[in-house]
Amino acid sequence: MNKTFTLGEAQTLLPVVEALLRKAQEAQVRAEELEYEMQQLSHRIFLSGGMHVDVSVAARRRAEHDKAVQSSRDTLAEIDSIGVQVKDLEQGLLDFPYVMDGKTVLLCWKLGEPAITHWHTEEEGFAGRKPLDSRFGRTERLN
C-alpha cells in the first residue's frame, strides 16, 4: 500500500517538498547547462580536427555534470520516499495520494500556487484537475 496523506498533512509537508523540488530543478538546470557546454566543446574539437583540449577542465566539467545529475536524482528519490509523486520536474507538478470514498485520488499542486487547491483521479492527470470541494474539508484521518 502506497502512502496517502490527509489534506492537512499534505499542506504541512508542502514547504518541505517545495524546497526539495526547487533543489532538484536547480540541479537539473545545472546539469543541462554543463551538458550543453560539453557538447559545444566536442563540436569545437571536431571542427578544429582535434584542437588542444585542456583535459583537466573537460574532466572537471564532466564531474560537475555527473554530480548535478546525481543531486537531482537523489533529491527526487527523497521526495518519492516521503510518498509525494513528482509528475513534471520542469513545471513543478506534485501529487499527494489521498483516499476519497475508498479510492485513491491525487491532491495536485503546481509550483507557484500558495496552497493545494486542486485534485484529480490517477487516470485524468493534471489536465483533468478540479478544485477541492467539501469532501476534502477534513484535515484529520478517519480511522
Q: What is the pLDDT of residue 51?
A: 63
Q: Which long-range contacts (CB under 8 A, 24 or more apart) does 104-113 make?
A: 104/2, 104/4, 107/5, 107/7, 107/10, 107/132, 107/136, 109/10, 109/14, 111/18, 111/21, 111/22
pLDDT classification of 138: cutoffs 50, 70, 90: low
Residue keyed to cell 588542444: 52
Length of the chain measured in residues = 143
pLDDT tens-digit readout, 25-57: 999 999 999 999 988 888 877 787 766 667 787
pLDDT tens-digit readout, 87-122: 999 999 999 999 998 899 999 999 999 999 999 999
Q: What is the pLDDT of residue 50?
A: 66
Cell numbers at residue 23, please?
533543489
Query: Model's pTM, two decimal places?
Result: 0.85
pLDDT classification of 143: cutoffs 50, 70, 90: very low
